[in-house]
Amino acid sequence: MQVNRDRTTLLDLAIVLSDVMDMISPLVHNHQKRAAYIAMRLGEEYGLKADQVTELVLAGLLHDIGAFSLRDRLDTLDFEFDDPHRHARLGYQLIKGFSGLSRVALIILYHHLPWQTQGYEEPDGRQVLIQSHILHLADRVSILMDEEKDILDQVIPIVDVVMSRMGTTFMPSLSKPLMSLALRESFWLNAASPFLEARLRERLDGHLPVLQPEDLSDLSTLLSRIIDYRSHYTATHSCGVAATAEALARTMDLPEETCRLMRIAGHLHDMGKLAVPSEIIEKPARLSAEEYGIVMDHPRRAARILNALPDLGEASQWVAQHHERLDGSGYPNHSGGMDISLGSRILAVADVFTAVTEDRPYRKAMTRDMPLRFLMDLADSQQLDPEVMSVMESRFDDLNDLRRNIQEAACTRYDEMIRPFAEPRSESEQ
């Protein structure tokens, strides 16, 4: 099959998601790609079919997606840690509904399940897929690798640790594939290299279908939840921005494709904030110059990752510019006037409007006609686009109702999905 790098595939999507997760902590940098590579090689050695290996690689790239607080991320770095199933269950919840990922979600659900509990089944009888056992082993081998040391000096200790747990923690029939790989220096050198994406693409590029527009829209929804759920203050922010930006574009009679991309850009505009520590996002006071510098980098970080998705077109540029202002007072480039695209101007209005109607750690939400007056002042001072603002003003009540309804629904979903995972469960609940 001809490789078409002009279109986005499920592999591009999984790589972007793994890069997004890497932003949360440099300490776990590349962990998901490394686990995916090790799992892929183990799966091939075990004799899995090509489509099973593909599912395994996608699961490897996404497996810790449920560990999106820094604490959860760091927990997963311990070889043995409390309640490893918490992030596995949350990861399953997040991705099970997305097209083409239902089996991948199941692999993730059980990626920390010890082999000795192999009879374990959920009440609805879901089976543990073979790839979950392979991913479990690959994940733990990846955790045992120390990037600071020569990888070939670590082979014997790593193999000793995992082989001593074959039959208890790990599936015993994985001993042979593991030992066969362990004897090859090339396997370890590849697993330790920073070029894991190239190794995965060599194997999978051309084997995955191109994503459809609705898949990209679903991806943006999934990403917006990861971005928003890090803090209850922002739990519904991106979906409010997405709904408002799309509605503004429709009111302005922009082409259907532009309206669709506006919604995606709204979902993804604050993706770069995953690299901003929660203490800064939740700080109930003015940020220091250094902290503000970290925040100011978030549009650029997001755009750099989104550039890898060719089907997003102009949306990555809109994201890069969503804090620029017409009078040049924005960031990070201090662009002004016509250098700021129309999409970025719409996104900026939707972002400020949504932000001022939400509670934040340092202030309460604006109510009644205060948001409109605040936005009009920003348009009068040439920060926000006056033309976009006049469209907003003409439909203010409708847009405000739409935003409120979308955010209320998102709030209910957040409560159902995240609250059960917010704290470790008490004994009485288990």
Q: How near is the Cβ of 63 to Fe ion at its closest, in Å?
A: 5
Does 72 bind Fe ion (CB under 5 A)? Our answer is no
Q: Which is nearer to Fe ion, 311 or 351 (CB)?
A: 351
**Helical packing angle, 130-144 and 50-62, nearest 10°:** 50
Q: How near is the Cβ of 396 to Fe ion at its closest, in Å?
A: 19
- How many whole angstroms separate alpha carbon 137 and alpha carbon 155? 15
Q: How near is the Cβ of 184 to Fe ion at its closest, in Å?
A: 23
- How many whole angstroms separate alpha carbon 74 and alpha carbon 126? 29
Q: Which is nearer to Fe ion, 76 or 221 (CB)?
A: 76
Among 19, 55, 72, 139, binds Fe ion (CB under 5 A): 139
Does 22 bind Fe ion (CB under 5 A)? Our answer is no
Q: Which is nearer to Fe ion, 211 or 261 (CB)?
A: 261
Q: Binding pattern to Fe ion, positions 294-333, x when CB under 5 A?
A: ----------------------------------------
Q: How near is the Cβ of 5 to Fe ion at its closest, in Å?
A: 28
Does 197 bind Fe ion (CB under 5 A)? Our answer is no
Q: Compute the residue count for the chain.
A: 430
The region, left, alpha or beta by phi > 0 then psi within -120 to 50, assigned to residue 366 is beta
Number of C-beta neighbours around residue 278 at 10 A: 14
Does 351 bind Fe ion (CB under 5 A)? Our answer is yes
By three-state DSSP, how is residue 254 classified? coil
Q: How near is the Cβ of 361 to Fe ion at its closest, in Å?
A: 15
**Do 191 and 34 meet the contact criterion of CB atoms below 8 Å apart?**
yes
Q: How near is the Cβ of 18 to Fe ion at its closest, in Å?
A: 11
Give 5-8's long-range contacts (Cβ < 8 A, gap of 24+).
5/205, 5/310, 6/310, 7/210, 7/211, 7/310, 7/311, 8/210, 8/211, 8/216, 8/309, 8/310, 8/311, 8/312
Please list the alpha-helical segments (H only) found in 252-288: 256-268, 278-281
Q: Which is nearer to Fe ion, 76 or 316 (CB)?
A: 76
Q: Which is nearer to Fe ion, 109 or 379 (CB)?
A: 109
Q: Which is nearer to Fe ion, 8 or 32 (CB)?
A: 32
Task: Find the part of the chain contacting Fe ion (CB under 5 A) among 52-60, 128-136, 333-341, 351-359.
Answer: 351-359
- How many whole angstroms separate alpha carbon 380 and alpha carbon 298? 27
Angle at 404 between CA 375 and CA 236, to 5 degrees: 90
Cα–Cα nearest to 203, from 58, 16, 7: 58
Q: Site residues for Fe ion, window 154-173 (CB under 5 A)? A: none
Q: Which is nearer to Fe ion, 8 or 403 (CB)?
A: 403
Does 64 bind Fe ion (CB under 5 A)? Our answer is yes
Cα–Cα nearest to 260, from 251, 270, 250: 250
- How many whole angstroms separate alpha carbon 270 and alpha carbon 227? 7
Task: Find the part of the chain contacting Fe ion (CB under 5 A) among 41-49, 134-142, 223-231, 248-256.
Answer: 134-142
Among 228, 246, 270, 385, binds Fe ion (CB under 5 A): 270
- How many whole angstroms separate alpha carbon 75 and alpha carbon 88? 13
Task: Find the part of the chain contacting Fe ion (CB under 5 A) among 51-59, 210-218, 263-271, 301-309.
Answer: 263-271
Q: How near is the Cβ of 355 to Fe ion at its closest, in Å?
A: 6
Q: How near is the Cβ of 124 to Fe ion at its closest, in Å?
A: 22
Q: How near is the Cβ of 113 to Fe ion at its closest, in Å?
A: 11
- How many whole angstroms separate alpha carbon 413 and alpha carbon 138? 33
Q: Is the peptide bond before 332 cis (omega within 30 degrees of 0)?
A: yes
How many amino acids of this chain bind Fe ion (CB under 5 A)? 5
Where do we find the tokens 């991106």? Answer: 238
Interacting residues toward Fe ion by CB under 5 A: 64, 76, 139, 270, 351
